[in-house]
Amino acid sequence: MVGITETVLRDGHQSLIATRMRTRDMLPAAERLDAIGYRSIEAWGGATFDVCLRYLREDPWERLRALKRAMPRTPLQMLLRGQNLVGYRHYADDVVRSFVDEAARTGIDIFRVFDALNDPRNMEVALRAVKRAGARAQATICYTSSPVHSLEAFVALGRRLAELDADELCVKDMAGMMPPGDGAALVRALRQEIGLPVVVHTHSASGLASLTCVAAAEAGAAAVDGALSPFAGGASQPPTETLVGALRGTPNDPKLDLGALGELAEYFRGVLEHYRPLLELRSLQTDPGILTHQVPGGMLSNLLSQLKEQEALGRLAEVLAEVPRVRADLGYPPLVTPTSQIVGIQAVLNVLQGGRYRQVTNEVRDYVRGLYGTPPGPLDPELVARVTAGTSAIRARPADLLDPELAKAAAELRALVPAADTAEVLSYALFPIVYRSYRSAVDRGLTSDVLTAAALGVVGALRRPATPPSARAAGTGVGERGSAWAHEGRVRLQTQRGWIDAAHGRTRR
Ligand code: CO
């Protein structure tokens, strides 16, 4: 029997509606989700933490507490970016340990820990903290294809992760480009050589995902990830119901009730309806182009918004051709946060500035110097010479260069909020600026409901095609002004400039 990990509460909405699903839209389904018999429910981590604070003005820890109360039976799972936790830089070890502890204490049972460079040193402290907290450590291999990535290299990485005491391994195909044959071979090799349970996470983008999940199940995967159908397909996971249907009656039957899944899907269809202004047609479409350019969906929308800002949308094809070249220069990192942003932004610069590396971003400099970890393959010597002129490369584990951060963060926050608890201190330690603005927004009564309404209004208004003059003159009420969402959005945008930097326009690290 293969297990199913349900992603509707995390990757599903992160992939399709920019991570905007609110806790109040999750809770009504919680009891039924808990009763399905999933192997686990991925409900926290990844971008959800940041988006809760930054855009929804929700406390992510409160979300986790509420979900755990409502789903006591099914193991809750989170995505943790190794030493980056749920942020975009390396945090000091004391922050990593405390964060993992607090997350486990609050309700996370399974930690899926990955590093964008597949550098085990960036996962080590988190994995050990997971074990110490008594939770399950799911160590992750980011799948990609390149001249330096082979079955043997992935198995060697799996072996190192097993030595770090991982309980199980995850093959994470964030771009959705792993062919069924490769997926099956990798699962089989990891099972045979290492013996730990292997789970497979992929995305539907290229259209391969359902096939790959079935092949992985047949090859002995312990679980595959699916999202309930309204939040499945395209940039998200394959539909849970489809996977269950495909495997029904086989030796790998997940044995989940399609009727009960259908009722849940019906509920989430209604939820999606509410967020529809945020849904891009492109993120639902199948894009086999990924098989050549390897650009994951989230990265593609970032590239698009960067090009739009520069009024250079017409140069997308050149940028997509430049991405694999930059990636090769950087030793073929898998493209996932934050390497996807590092490679993407540099590729845009290389195209728009009329010469490659005429301007080199600070992130590329840091990367080349070794501040993100050890790249999978050798770097382009010319780029290294240019970037490291006069400085030496860093060979140590990057987080060894960081001083402890937790006590300082606690002192800073408690000067503002004397009663702040550990969870709040961690939110502040991870995102100090965002957390300050979250606190002041909450203090002014700008709750998640008001802000989400505003966000949907702004995006909806921007997306809506211009109303024909005849319709406006006739006062049919379908124009921009007729929409309460849009009105609310405009008012908020005027009074609160800057809090919405457009759903997808985030190119920070
Ligand atoms: Co994913």
CA distance linking residue 312 with residue 305, whole number of Å: 10
Nearest-5° angle of CA 140, CA 141, CA 143?
135
Centre of ligand 1 to C-alpha 174, Å, is: 5
CA distance linking residue 383 with residue 372, whole number of Å: 16
Centre of ligand 1 to C-alpha 383, Å, is: 31
Centre of ligand 1 to C-alpha 142, Å, is: 10
Centre of ligand 1 to C-alpha 212, Å, is: 15
Centre of ligand 1 to C-alpha 304, Å, is: 20
Centre of ligand 1 to C-alpha 201, Å, is: 7
pLDDT in tens, 149-207: 999 999 999 999 999 999 999 999 999 999 999 999 999 999 999 999 999 999 999 99
pLDDT in tens, 97-135: 999 999 999 999 999 999 999 999 999 999 999 999 999
Centre of ligand 1 to C-alpha 1, Å, is: 23
Cβ 127 vs Cβ 166: under 8 Å: yes
The residue written with tokens 């997926």 in the block is: 183
CA distance linking residue 34 with residue 75, whole number of Å: 9
pLDDT in tens, 316-359: 999 999 999 999 999 999 998 889 999 999 999 999 998 999 99
CA distance linking residue 158 with residue 196, whole number of Å: 9
CA distance linking residue 363 with residue 366, whole number of Å: 5
How much of the chain exceeds pLDDT 90, in percent?
79
Q: What is the pLDDT of residue 97?
A: 98
- pLDDT confidence band for 305 (50 / 70 / 90): confident
Helix (H) or strand (E) holding 471: helix 469-474
Between 121-130, 380-389, 443-452, 495-504, the lowest mean confidence (pLDDT) is in 495-504
Centre of ligand 1 to C-alpha 117, Å, is: 16
CA distance linking residue 164 with residue 167, whole number of Å: 9
Centre of ligand 1 to C-alpha 139, Å, is: 14
Specify burial of residue 418 (Cβ count, 10 A radius: 0-12, 13-18, 19+): exposed
Q: Is the pLDDT of residue 78 over 60?
A: yes
Q: What is the pLDDT of residue 302?
A: 83
Centre of ligand 1 to C-alpha 48, Å, is: 12
The sign of the dihedral angle between the CA atoms of 159, 161, 165, 169 is negative
* For residues 382-407, average pLDDT: 90
Nearest-5° angle of CA 365, CA 18, CA 443?
95
Centre of ligand 1 to C-alpha 217, Å, is: 18
Centre of ligand 1 to C-alpha 391, Å, is: 36
Centre of ligand 1 to C-alpha 202, Å, is: 6
Centre of ligand 1 to C-alpha 472, Å, is: 43
CA distance linking residue 13 with residue 15, whole number of Å: 5
CA distance linking residue 123 with residue 166, whole number of Å: 10
CA distance linking residue 221 with residue 493, whole number of Å: 48
CA distance linking residue 134 with residue 109, whole number of Å: 8
Centre of ligand 1 to C-alpha 203, Å, is: 6
Centre of ligand 1 to C-alpha 471, Å, is: 43
Secondary structure (3-state) at 509: coil
Q: What angle, 0 to 180 degrees and rounded to 10, lies between the N-to-C axes of helices 316-329 and 297-309?
A: 120
The sign of the dihedral angle between the CA atoms of 33, 34, 37, 38 is positive
- pLDDT confidence band for 492 (50 / 70 / 90): very low
pTM above 0.85, yes or no: yes
Centre of ligand 1 to C-alpha 296, Å, is: 9
CA distance linking residue 204 with residue 240, whole number of Å: 12
The sign of the dihedral angle between the CA atoms of 49, 50, 51, 54 is positive
Centre of ligand 1 to C-alpha 143, Å, is: 11
Centre of ligand 1 to C-alpha 11, Å, is: 6
- Size (the chain), residues: 509
How many C-beta atoms surround the C-beta of residue 185 within 10 A? 15
Q: What is the pLDDT of residue 159?
A: 98
Secondary structure (3-state) at 81: coil
pLDDT in tens, 223-265: 999 999 999 999 999 999 999 999 999 999 999 999 999 999 9
Centre of ligand 1 to C-alpha 10, Å, is: 9
Q: What is the pLDDT of residue 451?
A: 66
Alpha helices in 133-239 (DSSP H): 151-163, 180-193, 209-218
Centre of ligand 1 to C-alpha 204, Å, is: 10
pLDDT in tens, 433-487: 999 999 999 888 876 666 666 767 776 666 655 444 443 333 333 333 333 333 3
Q: What is the pLDDT of residue 295?
A: 85
